[in-house]
Structure 1
Amino acid sequence: MMPIALSQLSPSPFPTGVQRLQEWGVIRALGADSATFLQGQLTNDVQSMGAGDVRLAAYCSAKGRMQASFVVARPAPNEFLLACSADLLPAVLKRLSMFVMRAQCKLTDASADLSVWGEVGGELASQAASLDAASGVHRLRLASVLGLARHLCLVPAGVVPEAPALPEGAWGWLEVGSAVPRVVAATAEAFVPQMVNLEVVGGVSFKKGCYPGQEVVARSQYRGTLKRRGALLAGDAALAPGQEVFHSADPGQPAGTVALSAQFGGRHLALVELKLAALEGGTLHLGSAEGAALSSVALPYEIPAEAP
């Protein structure tokens, strides 16, 4: 199945601007032990982060399944900000807090203090220095898509960025197009990180110490070629996280699961956890083997042929 380029499905020029992201929330970790505590809970090395660094990470169950994914910032030595899906934040915050015990680390829901905005195309660049200094805005650099710079901006309550508004769906389209997974409530504990390419985009460290599910994640990496990966698919029907995708050659069982989806300009795009064999021939369909047809879209990065 020859993939098409994301640019073929996207308007040109693609709009730039900012958008308030109600679907995101923020957890704050504060205290002298915050770095060591998070180091023992997340898939990535956060202890070595400096001010201005941005890292992806996941919080896994003992079975190695992702309960949440984060964009992590470290604005101060004893403070971390973890941006994640708002619909699973309360449950994840509660579970993480159970393991703090005697550590000097206070975990709180900072969503009321920090709203989350998506910025496309550097629209806040001219304001960035003054905003960061005067208002405590944190601009977290994400992977560029379609040649456009993207930032996840954590903005103090009451501050409204002065920039053109993105049209509805534009941010989500680029987020899915980046093929960087974000766990939502519908997909919590559905995927081992490699099933949605989290280690490929830098969200897993195989050199750091232990964390929940670490043995499962490591085995998935080093046993040999992985059979399931994250793939971009497009179609004419709406897709939603948790929906199943079927392959024409094996109609009796699903070939994959939608991890994240977007709609923009009448088109639909999804990051799908998919059997790699399903991309080698035949056709893909949503919901059943007779469902809406789906087309393969090229990923913005290379997938290793086998584990290093």
Structure 2
Amino acid sequence: MTEVDTPRGAPIQRDVVRVWGPDALTFLQGQLSQDVDALGVHTSSWTFVLQPQGKVDAWARITRTAADEVLLDIDDGWGQALHDRLKRFLIRTKAELEVLDWPAVAVRGTGAPRGDVPDGVLRLAPPGGTVTGYDLLGPGAELPAEVEPMTAAQLRAHDVEHGVPAMGRELTEATIPAEIGDWIVDESVSFTKGCFVGQELTARIDSRGGNVPRHLRAIVLDAPVEEGTPVECDGPAATVTTAAVSDRHGPIALAFLGRAVLEGAEVTVGGVPGVVRVLPIS
């Protein structure tokens, strides 16, 4: 998928959980799917926090800010839940957790400016295997002057085009990481780091080529639909998890569809005709 060169951006809401202390990395190494020990200071990656059954509690970006400190930033409204989930396993461990309220900005496009950022602001890789640009996170984060503003709706449509999942929509306690796509497992899971919560099922599915009963797909529609609208198609019952209107494709939606529903299949969403597309939408 080719990204437009003109950089565009918008303020975004990201909750931040700070974890620090002598045992912080050791603790997180057993809780997160990412190899925390392998992260260098001032580098970041993506990680799942999983249930023992391998389903999703959280998907967050992890940034190592010091030898014994990391930041986990997650979709707005999910920081406290992430904090509480980690806190439950913090037993006889020399580590502390706190939730921070930091501003953030999303800048998208291959032409995104790469100038200096203010002290205390992090420039981080964006979510999504095919998304270009970056996020700015931290006190003082603001949209660069040379970046064209975009609305929150335009940014979410951009994310839908690229198959970027959202907590509480595509990512719920019923979601298995492989259902989102191979890219998110590749970016967020280490199969060489050793044990972590949810590892067994995740590794088993990966060894079978990511073969799961349903996959996240895009639907390009003839008219807008609402989230939660049923999708009439072959296979298991499905509903729209996210709906948007794209500048490039018009009305689009995300839904988990049975693996028998292939690229180009015709479906109906609340009476509206649509065509299934594999993500990202080209």
TM-based fold match above 0.5: yes
Give 1:192 shift.
0.7
Partner Cα distance (1:201, 1:270) in 2: 24
How many corresponding residue pairs?
A: 274
- 1:13–1:257 Cα change, 3 Å: same
- 1:296 matched to 2:263? The reply is no
Equivalent residue for 2:7? 16
Contact 1:18 / 1:123 at 8 angstroms: preserved in 2?
no
- Mark the runs of 5 or more structure 1 residues left unpaired by the alignment: 1-5, 302-308
Residues 147-170 of structure 1 show CA distances to partners (whole Å, capped at 9, x for unaligned) of x732121031x5534323422133
User: Could you say which residue in structure 2 is the equivalent of 1:196?
Assistant: 180
Question: Match of 1:220?
Answer: 205
Task: Report sequence identity in percent.
Answer: 27
| RMSD between aligned residues | 3.0
Question: Which shifted more, 179-188 or 115-124?
Answer: 179-188
1:263, distance to aligned residue in structure 2 (A)? 3.1
Determine which of 129, 149, 166 is the counterpart of 1:182. 166
Corresponding residue for 1:71?
A: 61
Q: What are the superposed Cα offsets for residues 199-236 of structure 1, whole Å, 9 maximum, x if unpaired?
A: 44421222222222222222222246333222222222
TM-score (norm 1): 0.76
Q: 1:268 to 1:162 in 2, by over 3 A?
A: same
Select the residue among 150, 158, 164 that pairs with 1:167: 150
Q: Secondary structure at the match of 1:74?
A: strand
Deviations 1:23-71 (A, max 9, x none): x322111222221211111122122111343211111112211111112
In structure 2, runs of 5+ residues without a counterpart are: none
1:186 & 1:299 partners in 2: Cα distance? 14
Residue 115 of structure 1: which of 100, 103, 109 is its match?
103
Would the alpha carbon gap of residues 260 and 64 (structure 1) be closer, same or farther in structure 2, given more than 3 Å must change?
Answer: farther
- Cross-structure match for 2:245: 263
Name the CA distance, whole Å, in 2 between partners of 1:76 and 1:261: 39
CA contact (8 A) 1:87 1:184 kept: no
Which of residues 9, 18, 23 in structure 2 aligns to 1:33?
A: 23
Question: Structure 2: how far apart are the matches of 1:52 and 1:229?
Answer: 34
**Residue 298 of structure 1: how far off its partner (Å):** 4.1
Structure 2 match to 1:305: none
Worse-superposed segment, 199-208 or 94-103? 199-208
Q: State the TM-score, normalized to the length of structure 2.
A: 0.83
